[in-house]
Amino acid sequence: MKRSKWRTRLAGGLRDPLLRSWLTEPGSLTARCQRASASFRVCLLRYGKGRPLADESAGGRRGREPAWVREVLLECDGRPVIFAHTTLSTATSGRLTRWMSRLGSRSLGSLLFAHPGFRREAIEYLRLDRRHPLYQRAAAVAEVGDHLWARRSLHRLRAQRVLVTEVFLPAITRLR
């Protein structure tokens, strides 16, 4: 199995305190985006069955079993600020599977932080470069720099686990 480069501690080299505060935000990014902007929108890019990324097997998955994959852009004041990629195993079904299929352009974060049954595991961080598939997917839908910072965390609801990865786009630093 390929060793994951994701780390539970934010690596050095991140000098921007505002970006660091977004990456280490312990609460809902949706709620913080809503507080920091006049208008907030979730743009659904993709939802359907697919394969998790190779480094997502380290997030509690066995191999690269099929998954429900959801990708969205979070926009604040008309600017994309976060690209989010979520995977949920198709091996188990339950309440979370039904909720995810009905989310549409609503925020998953509003569900994860509102329902008392969810348990969030440690946040992991990674600096993405052009070789990473999430960098490439974010670059296809928004303006990006030489690298992007990302975080991910596994959320559990009974037997179901959803891995949420958030890629921070350069415009995030325009928000407080």
Domain ranges of the chain: 30-174
Within 10 angstroms of residue 45's Cβ, the number of other Cβ atoms is: 15
Task: State the pLDDT at residue 62.
Answer: 54
**pLDDT < 70 stretches in the chain:** 1-4, 57-64
For residue 113, the model assigns a pLDDT of 78
Which architecture characterizes domain 30-174 according to CATH?
3-Layer(aba) Sandwich (3.40)
Phi and psi at residue 75, to the nearest 5°: -115, 135
Q: Are 168 and 143 in contact (CB under 8 A)?
A: no
Task: Provide the pLDDT for residue 58.
Answer: 41
- Integer distance in angstroms from the first to the last C-alpha of the chain? 40
Question: What pLDDT, on the 0 to 100 scale, is given for residue 158?
Answer: 82
Coil, helix or strand at residue 168: strand
**What is the DSSP-derived secondary structure letter of residue 39?**
-
What pTM did the predictor assign?
0.91
